[in-house]
């Protein structure tokens, strides 16, 4: 059984088919890429997978569970986490608290417990702090744990957003242009980090990316979207050498 199964997914806005009859199967542990020209529908697919939009047609299954049309919180609890093309951190919170915020969907305590600082509050906070520091070490951010997130360099903000997503304990991690705005050294470091996350956390990863060096370097399979429809799917090397892909995307 695939980790992610998407069948005949479609959505229209004012008569425009933003995504039309989209199909995708991603096996557990795969590092998968979704590419295509600007406006091809890539982020719209992410918004459908995470409940930001509800599909007009189609079915989405995560690890066999139907998550079609559920709200974003329930989809996150089911095991889908994401980052965004435009970084969305809690800029006035510390690096540590940004990651701890990711735990609350799965390890909450009641408002009453939090207000009155009952024993469960301190126990839960201690556990979340310890686990958050472990995640920050993976991303080489543990030394900046007390920094304000908004004061981190751009590349480290990108890494922090992934770290926070990891704190939600996902089965499937969606990365929307994680290398956007990074220099070549930062991109290479990010590639190494993504591989580490996949290998050591048994993670399935789907990413949108325009950096072809990153796509060719880490993605095992690709889907190419164009005008909301699948243009090509398959192993990365075959897709990147497909004449239709070169014409529609790489040669634009």
For residue 200, how many C-alpha atoms fall within 13 Å in the half-sphere facing its CB?
11
Nearest to 161 by CA among 108, 86, 232: 86
β-bridge mates for residue 141, sequence order: none
- CB of 197 closer than 8 Å to CB of 164: no
- Provide the pLDDT for residue 157: 95
Q: Give pLDDT, residue 128.
A: 87
Per CATH, the architecture of 1-79+170-252 is what? 3-Layer(aba) Sandwich (3.40)
Per the structure block, which two tokens stand in for 60?
A: 């989405």
Give the pLDDT band (50/70/90) at residue 146. Answer: very high
pTM of the model: 0.91
Taking residue 198's Cβ as centre, other Cβ atoms within 10 Å add up to 18
pLDDT at 200: 87
Nearest to 41 by CA among 251, 241, 231: 231
- Backbone angle region of 64, left / alpha / beta, with phi > 0 → left and psi within -120 to 50 → alpha: left
Domain ranges, ordered by start, for the chain: 1-79+170-252, 83-164
First to last CA, the chain: 36
Read off the pLDDT of residues 166-224 as tens digits, 9 standing for 90 and up. 999 999 999 999 999 899 998 999 899 999 999 988 899 999 998 888 899 999 999 99
Mean pLDDT of 132-161: 95
């Amino acid at each position: 059984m695939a980790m992610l199964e998407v069948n005949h997914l479609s959505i229209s806005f004012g008569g425009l088919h933003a995504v039309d009859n989209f199909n995708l199967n991603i096996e557990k542990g795969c590092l998968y890429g979704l590419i295509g020209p600007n406006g091809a529908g890539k982020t719209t697919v992410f918004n459908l997978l995470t409940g930001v939009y509800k599909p007009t047609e189609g079915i989405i299954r995560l690890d066999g569970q139907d998550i079609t049309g559920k709200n974003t919180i329930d989809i996150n609890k089911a095991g889908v986490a994401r980052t965004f093309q435009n970084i969305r951190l809690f800029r006035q919170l510390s690096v540590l608290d940004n990651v701890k915020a990711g735990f609350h969907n799965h390890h909450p305590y009641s408002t009453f417990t939090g207000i009155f600082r009952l024993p469960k509050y301190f126990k839960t906070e201690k556990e979340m702090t310890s686990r958050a520091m472990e995640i920050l070490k993976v991303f080489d951010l543990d030394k900046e744990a007390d920094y304000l997130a908004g004061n981190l360099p751009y590349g480290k903000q990108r890494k922090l957003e992934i770290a926070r997503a990891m704190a939600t304990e996902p089965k499937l991690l969606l990365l929307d242009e994680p290398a956007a705005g990074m220099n070549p050294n930062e991109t290479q470091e990010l590639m190494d980090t993504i591989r580490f996350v996949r290998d050591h956390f048994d993670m399935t990863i789907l990413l949108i990316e325009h950096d072809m060096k990153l796509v060719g370097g880490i993605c095992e399979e690709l889907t190419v979207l164009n005008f909301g429809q699948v243009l090509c799917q398959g192993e990365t090397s075959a897709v990147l050498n497909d004449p239709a892909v070169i014409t529609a995307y790489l040669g634009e």
